[in-house]
Each structure stands twice: as structure tokens, then as C-alpha cells.
Amino acid sequence: MGTLPRFATKSSRLNIGGVRHSVSHQLIEETVWVREHGDEPVVVHVGKNGPREFARHRLSTPGRPQILDEHYLPRPEGAIARMPRPMCEQEETFLGFSEGARWWLAAPAPVPDVWSYDFVETRTHDGKQVRILAMTDEYTRECLAIRAGR
């Protein structure tokens, strides 16, 4: 089936050879098997209907995660409505103070700025080396900057 069984985390990721790989959101907290096909790690889940291939990734190195957008549910449009529910008597008392207390608990936390950056090296058609620094916002997955140099 594969090398060793792995456990997909709540963030639908697993670690293969020190590299984070995404798996389908359907496999959260499920045991999966990882096998190699050429230079691709292949993620297989054994369910009621037998084994099923769920993902193929490019081989990578630590620090270069292989995260595929199609493994995650689409993000909802607009703001998410949050209604706080008291978990204890003290929280219920706090929520009873005012509408401001309710808003304070329901307000979304700010999204932290988490950026990734990496150097990519290549050569031009005439053999000269070019280094490219790519910087990406981890939350939006947008490229923030690309700088090339020799």
C-alpha cells in the first residue's frame, strides 16, 4: 500500500520526509498511506470501497511545502456571522453587560502577517545565472514581490 501510515491533521496536512503536503479536507483526522510513484509522493486512503488515490504532489525539500488549493473548501463570501455562546456563568454575566461586550467577543481577530520567501535560481538562454527572490503572503497566497538579480 505504501511506506508507513500517516495521520492527516485538522488542517488537512501531513508531513512526508520533513515536507508539509496538503490532503483533501475529506481526510481530516483519517489515516492515509503514502507511496512513491517515480518522483511523486502519492497519498492513498483505504475506505469502505477499498483503496483510493487522493493526491499526488511534486517531490520537494523541507521549507518548501506542497499545498494545493483544491484540497480545501472554498472560502465563504463576505464576513462570517459569529454569535458568541457563553460557556460558563461568568461569560453569561459578561455578555449580559451590553451589546458592546457581545460585539467584542464576536469581532474577528486580525489576520497575522505571515510571509514566505525563497530564492529560485535558473539560467538564461546564454547560460548566465539569475537568482529570483519571491515573497508570498501565506494567508491570501498572493505574490507580494519578485526581485531578480545576477
- pLDDT tens digits along 84-109: 677 778 777 776 766 666 666 666 66
- Name the burial class of residue 22, with classes exposed (0-12), middle (13-18) and buried (19+) by CB atoms within 10 angstroms of its CB: buried
Report the pLDDT value the prediction gives residue 19, as an integer from 0 to 100: 83
Q: Where are the domains of the chain?
A: 5-71, 115-149
The alpha carbons of the chain give a radius of gyration, in whole angstroms, of 22
Ramachandran angles phi, psi of 61, nearest 5°: -120, 160
Report the pLDDT value the prediction gives residue 4, as an integer from 0 to 100: 57
Among candidate residues 74, 75, 94, 78, the one with its CA nearest the CA of residue 86: 94
| Between 75 and 4, the higher pLDDT residue | 75
Residues 6+ apart with CB under 8 A from 134: 117, 118, 119, 120, 143, 145, 146
Express each pLDDT in 80-89 by its tens digit: 666 667 777 8
Report the pLDDT value the prediction gives residue 114, as an integer from 0 to 100: 77
Whether the CB-CB separation of 35 and 44 falls below 8 Å is answered with: yes
Whether this model's pTM surpasses 0.75: no
Mean pLDDT of 38-54: 83
pLDDT at 125 over 80: yes
Q: Please tell me whether residue 49 adopts helix, strand or coil conformation.
A: coil
Report the pLDDT value the prediction gives residue 130, as an integer from 0 to 100: 87
| Between 128 and 81, the higher pLDDT residue | 128
